[in-house]
């Protein structure tokens, strides 16, 4: 079977039309499931690698159940303490403290709540802060990395609200801004890794407006395209793709993504039916968005790219005259239509680096890989990549950067290629060449 063409590695990028089917919804078939809840809360517990669901309603009954999802089955937890039953309450994972936090909601009697609870992976504990926001339900909440805290905005507490609060694990403190979106409930918001802000969209009896909190103030955005006005939709951040994903609303079954500048309507081949009052949560391990419930039958879905991009680094290099081995590192991934940049570090300042690229890390002209280079005057060095292309790079301050523009061509989805860098370093060994660890790439689509 012929290997892929290498022309895309050396040709200038020619961007084609955006590919709509680069993402899709994946139906899951867990061994057991919660009842078909709606208006529940859900968040991913990174520390325990579990999706956590609490509360919700089905059959006219509001529940106080805690369910855990491990991608194989949902399990009903049995904590010693649990919050009262409720609906319309967001759950948020506090990355700084390793806790899932919930505030407010509506209890079984219809009372709007103002209590704060935390899940530690085993049990719920009620927090008793000095400052307590007014009771509310259907508010937006998100963990905000620039503040290392959970941020809450708006909701309904007898009237629609547009106040803003942050929870640091000890107390709630109000955030004062000069500008704010109009008071509203049933909106949602998510962290935007592209701008470093929080994006908020629409809400009950609102227009299809988009707002961005820049850590100081709210600024209305005017994107070229936008979803229709909606409420009781859900939003979360896909960290691997740097996109904010939103789905649903009453009678709505579309999937939109925010890229920091505009909204894009995705048209995956597989799509859940319309639903509202559900919650999306991002699974860090699988790098997919997860959704449960808010449908007639209990459904678990995940959403993500049909072909994820990846760049992994393995193996070791051999040291140069500075007693350090060249090292590959990457800040991004090989996505269609974008440029992958790989840094070669640990280089002597007066050297010349090179990057080799090929389509195999198992076979080469020299036989099976890896191949010892000791017979070439490079003891301790191993060739780990079938080198098809060699590009020389200028070293500056001990490092060099190799860049690869990747055309936005769907035919490249899933193509694998491999990197290994080297360095011309007289005195390092008889050959005067050192070799780095190796990189393995899969081209994906956002």
CB atoms within 10 A of CB 59: 7
Taking the mean position of all CA atoms in its chain, how far away is CA 289? Answer: 8
SS3 10: helix
Residue 7's pLDDT band (boundaries 50, 70, 90)?
low
The yes-or-no verdict on residue 264 having pLDDT over 70 is: yes
Cβ contact 112:159 at 8 Å: no
Structural domains of the chain ordered from first start? 20-305 (2.120.10.80), 309-442 (2.20.130)
pLDDT of residue 349: 86
Residue 295's alpha-carbon distances to 193, 251, 288, in angstroms, are 31, 11, 20
Which letter does DSSP use for residue 47 in this model? T
Residue 202's pLDDT band (boundaries 50, 70, 90)?
very high
SS3 307: coil
104 closest CA partner among 125, 68, 132: 132
Cβ contact 370:364 at 8 Å: no
Query: Tokens representing 25?
Result: 């919804």
Q: What is the mean pLDDT of the chain?
A: 94
Alpha-carbon gap, residue 257 to 244, rounded angstroms: 5
SS3 105: strand
pTM of the full structure: 0.92
Beta strands in 293-432 (DSSP E): 300-305, 310-314, 327-330, 339-345, 352-358, 363-364, 367-368, 371-372, 382-383, 389-394, 400-405, 416-424
Q: What is the pLDDT of residues 170-189, one digit of tens each?
A: 999 999 999 999 999 999 99
């Amino acid at each position: 079977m012929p290997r892929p063409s290498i022309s895309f590695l050396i040709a200038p990028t020619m961007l084609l039309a955006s590919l709509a089917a680069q993402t899709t919804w994946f139906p899951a078939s867990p061994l057991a499931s919660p009842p078909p809840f709606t208006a529940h809360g859900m968040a991913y517990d990174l520390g325990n690698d579990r999706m956590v669901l609490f509360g919700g309603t089905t059959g006219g009954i509001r529940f106080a159940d805690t369910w855990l999802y491990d991608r194989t089955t949902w399990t009903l937890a049995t904590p010693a303490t649990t919050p009262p039953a409720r609906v319309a309450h967001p759950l948020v994972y506090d990355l700084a403290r390793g806790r899932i936090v919930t505030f407010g909601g509506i209890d079984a009697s219809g009372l709007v709540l103002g209590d704060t609870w935390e899940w530690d992976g085993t049990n719920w504990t009620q927090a008793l802060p000095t400052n307590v926001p007014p009771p509310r339900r259907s508010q937006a909440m998100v963990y905000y990395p620039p503040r290392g805290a959970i941020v809450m905005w708006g909701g309904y507490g007898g009237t629609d609200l547009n106040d803003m609060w942050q929870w640091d694990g000890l107390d709630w403190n109000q955030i004062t801004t000069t500008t704010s979106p109009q008071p509203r409930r049933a909106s949602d918001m998510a962290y935007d890794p592209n701008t470093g802000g929080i994006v908020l969209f629409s809400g009950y009896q609102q227009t299809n407006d988009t707002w961005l909190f820049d850590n100081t103030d709210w600024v209305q955005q005017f994107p070229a395209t936008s979803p229709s006005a909606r409420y009781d939709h859900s939003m979360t951040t896909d960290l691997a793709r740097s996109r904010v994903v939103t789905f649903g609303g009453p009678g709505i079954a579309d999937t939109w993504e925010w890229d920091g500048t505009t909204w894009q309507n995705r048209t995956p081949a597989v799509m859940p039916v319309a639903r509202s009052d559900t919650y999306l949560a991002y699974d860090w391990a699988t790098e997919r968005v997860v959704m449960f419930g808010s449908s007639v039958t209990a459904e678990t879905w995940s959403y993500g790219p049909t072909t994820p991009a990846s760049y992994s680094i393995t193996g070791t290099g051999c040291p140069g005259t500075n007693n350090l081995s060249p090292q590959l590192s990457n800040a991004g991934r090989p996505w269609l239509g974008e440029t992958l940049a790989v840094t070669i570090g640990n280089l002597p300042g007066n050297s010349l680096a090179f990057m080799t690229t090929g389509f195999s890390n198992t076979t080469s002209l020299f036989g099976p890989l890896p191949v010892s280079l000791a017979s070439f005057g490079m003891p301790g060095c191993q060739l780990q990549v079938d080198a098809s292309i060699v590009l020389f790079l200028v070293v500056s301050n001990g490092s060099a950067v190799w860049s690869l523009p990747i055309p936005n061509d769907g035919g490249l989805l899933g193509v694998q290629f491999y990197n290994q860098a080297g360095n011309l370093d007289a005195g390092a060994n008889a050959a005067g060449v050192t070799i780095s660890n190796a990189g393995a790439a899969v081209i994906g689509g956002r």
